[in-house]
Structure 1
C-alpha cells in the first residue's frame, strides 16, 4: 500500500511521468547497457530492444502499477506481478539486479524531467519502485524455491531426441535430460526458456510453451520460425530451425508461467491462434489423462489448415474428452476441412456455460479482440487469462 505522504505526490506527477515514460525508459536502457553491455548480449531480447517493444512494456508496467496503487490502494495488482515474476524467473533474474535497475532508472528520470524531480517526487517514486520490486523479489524467491533451485540457477542441459516438422514454419523438439532422469513435472500451460548461442557469440533467450502432457518423462516445445517482413527475422527461431537436430544439446530453464488450469471441474474455454495452440495442447493432454467429464470448448484460428501446427493431435485430444467441442477458423479455408469457418474468430455464436474460465494465447491483436467479445458476452474480466510471449504490451483491464 502506498503511504499517505506519497499518494498525493504520485497522483499529481503520474501524468507528467506518464507523458515522458517512453523517453525515460529509452534513456534507462541506454544507461543500463552502457554500464552492463553483457545484459543486452546475453539476457535481453535484442530484437525487442531494436523494435522498442521492451521499452514500451517496461513503461507500461511502471505506469500501470502506479495507477493501480492509486485506484485500488487496498489491493496489490497480483495479476501483473505474477506474469512479470514468472518471466523473470525463467530468465534467472536475481534480487541484486533490482538495485542496478533502480540506479539507472532514477538517473534517467532525473535527466528527462529535470527540475520537476524534487526530493519529494524522488521519495514518492522510489516508494512505488520498491513496492513493485520487493513484491517481485518475494514472488521470484518463492518460484525458485518451488523449482528446487538456488536464486537464478534455473538452467539445465537437455538433449534433443526427436525433431518433427509440424508445418512449413513450425518444428517441434522432444527433449530429455542428459542424465537419463525424467524431465520433471510442470503445470499444464507453463513454458520454458531456451538459451541459444548465436554466431556472433551473443546468447539470446526465448520462451516456448511445453506442449506435451505434464506427466511425460520428456518435454516437447514447438518453435515457429519468425521470418523477416514487417519486422526483423527471429534470431533464435531461425537458429533452431536451421541447425537444431536430434542429438544436439540445448540449455533449457525450469518450467514457469501462470497460465495454468484451476484445480476444479468448472467449464473451460481454450482459445488459440497460430503457435498459441501449444499451451492449450498441454492442457488438453492433462484433461485427457484426468478423464474428467468436464465441459471444454476449444477454439483455434490459423491462416490455413497447412499452417495449423499439431492439428491432428488437437482433434484427437478433443475427441478423447467426453464433453469437448472444437471450433476452427481459417483465413484461407481449403477443401477437406468442412467443419472450419472462414475469416475471423467469432465467439458470439458459442454457448458459454455459467462459471466459465477462458484461456487465450496467440498474437496480441487476436487476444484483445476475443477478450473484448467475451467481455461483451458478460464473461467477468477475472475469468479471462492470457499468455504473452515477449514483452507484455497488454496491461489494461486486469
Structure 2
C-alpha cells in the first residue's frame, strides 16, 4: 500500500508517466545494456528486444501495477505479480538484480521527464517500484524454496535422450538429468527455461511448455520460428541439438496449471499453444479423470497441427471428453462448421466450467470473450501466452 504522502502524487502524475512509459522503458534498456552488455547476451531475449515486445510488456506491467495501487489501495495485484515471479524464477533472477534495475530505470525516468521529476515525485515513484520489487522478491523466494534451489542453481545439465518431429516445424525433446539425479516434480501446464550456447557465444534462454509427463524425464516441444527476427534458440535447437547433446534446463515453473476437482474443464489452444494443453490432457488421462473435458484447438491446417494423434488418443482415454478442432485453411474434406476461426457457439459449455487458454493474443481475446458470453466466469478463465505478456496491462 502506498503511503499517504505518495498516493496523491502517484495519482496526479500517473497520466504523465503512463504517456511516457514507452520512452522510459526504451531508454531504460539502452542504459541497462550499455552498463551490463552481458545481460543482453546471456539473460534477456534478444529477439524480444529487437522487436520491442519486451519494452511494451514492461511498460504495461509498470502502468498496470501503479494503476492498481491507485484504484485499489488495499489490494495487491497478485495475479500479475505471480506470473512475473514464475518467469523470473525460471531465469534465476536474484534479489540484488532489482537494485541494478532500479538504478537504470530511475535514471531513464529522470532523462525522459526532466524537470517534472521533483524530489517529491521521485520519492513517490520510488515507493511504487519497491512495492513491486519487494513483492516479487518475496514471491520468488517462496518459489525457489519450493523447488529446493537457489537463484544460482535453477538450471542444471540435462541430456537429450530422444528427439522426434511432431510436424515439419515442431520438435519434441525428451531430457534426463546428466548427473543421474532425480527429476523435479512439475504441474500440468508448467514450462522450463532452456539455455543454449549460440554460434556467437551468447547463452540465450527461452521458455518451453512441458508437453507430457514421462517417467524419469522431462518432455518439452519447440516450434521453429521464422519472422522478424527469426527465433534464435528455437531454430538452434532444431538445427543443432540431437540425442546425446547436453542442455541447461531449469526447474519447472509457471502459474497457469490445471486445477483439481470434478468441475468441467475446457482446454483451448491455437498453434503451438497446444503444448501445455497436451500436458494437461496427459495428466487427466494418467489419473483417470472422470470430469467433463472439452478440448478446443485451432490451427492453419491438418499438417501444421502438432500432437494431432495425441489429442485424439488422450481424449479417447477419458471417460467424458470431446475434441473440437478448427482449421483456418483445411486440406481436403473438412466440416464447414469447423473451418475458419474458433466459434464456440457450436460447442456446449457446461455451467461451472474452468477454462485454460494458450495461443496468440488475438486468439486469447476472442476465445475469452466467447467464453464469457457462454456464461463462464472471468475468474475461471486462465491464460498462458508465449513470450512477453502483452496482456498484463489490459486488465485481462
Q: TM-score over 0.5 for the alignment?
A: yes
What residue in structure 1 maps to residue 215 of structure 2?
216
Distance in 2, matches of 1:361 and 1:152, equals 30
Does 1:243 pair with 2:251?
A: no
Is the Cα–Cα contact under 8 Å of residues 183 and 216 in structure 2 kept in the other structure? yes
Q: How much does 1:397 deviate?
A: 2.6
Cα offset, 1:364, TM superposition = 1.3
1:179 CA drift (Å): 2.6
Name the structure 1 match of 2:274: 277
Q: How does 1:303-322 map to 2 (within 5 A)?
A: 303-322=300-319
Q: TM-score, normalised by structure 1?
A: 0.97
**In 2, Cα distance between equivalents of 1:2 and 1:351:** 45
- The 4+ residue runs of structure 1 with deviation greater than 6 A are none
Name whichever of 316-325 and 262-271 sits farther off.
262-271
Give the CA deviation at 1:318: 0.5
Unaligned runs of 5+ in 2: none
Q: Deviations over 1:260-312 (max 9, x none)?
A: 01132211110001111111111111111211210111000110111111110
> Match for 2:299 among 299, 302, 311?
302
The match for 1:73 is 73
User: Which residue of 2 is the match for residue 397 of structure 1?
Assistant: 395
Cα-Cα RMSD = 1.3
Shift of 1:151: 2.7
2:184 and 2:252 in contact (8 A); partners too: no
- 1:202 maps to 202
Separation of aligned partners in 2, 1:152 and 1:362: 31
SS in 2 for 1:179: coil
Bigger CA drift: 268-277 or 171-180? 171-180
Q: Is contact 1:144–1:152 with CA below 8 Å preserved after alignment?
A: no
1:52 counterpart residue number: 52
Give 1:226's aligned residue.
225
Q: Displacement of 1:219 after TM fit? A: 1.0
Distance apart, 1:388 and its partner CA:
1.6
Query: CA offset at residue 180 of structure 1?
Result: 2.8
Secondary structure, aligned partner of 2:153: coil
Secondary structure of 1:211's counterpart equals: strand
Q: Which moved more, 1:30-39 or 1:339-348?
A: 339-348
SS in 1 for 2:313: helix
Q: Is the Cα contact below 8 Å between 1:332 and 1:342 reproduced in 2?
A: yes
Q: Which residue of 1 aligns with 2:34?
A: 34
Cα displacement (A) at 1:152: 3.5
Contact preservation (8 Å) 1:333, 1:340: no
Corresponding residue SS for 2:41: helix
State the alpha-carbon separation in 1 of the partners of residues 182 and 342 from structure 2. Answer: 39
Cα distance, 1:331 vs structure 2: 1.0
Offset at residue 182 of structure 1 (A): 4.1
Helix, strand or coil for the counterpart of 1:265?
coil
8 Å Cα contact 1:163-1:174 kept in structure 2: yes
> Match of 1:199, SS?
coil
Distance in 1 (CA, whole Å) between partners of 2:182 and 2:215 is 8
Q: Deviation at 1:338?
A: 5.4
Total equivalences in the alignment: 395
Q: What CA distance in whole angstroms lies between the structure 2 residues aligned with 1:238 and 1:284?
A: 27
Tell me the CA shift for residue 334 of structure 1. 2.2
Counterpart of 1:140 in structure 2 is: 140
Structure 1: segments with no counterpart, 5+ residues = none
Alignment deviations for residues 161-196 of structure 1 (CA, whole Å, 9 cap, x no partner): 111111011111111111334423200000000001
Q: Deviations over 1:216-271 (max 9, x none)?
A: 2111111000013xx21111111111111111111100000011011322111100
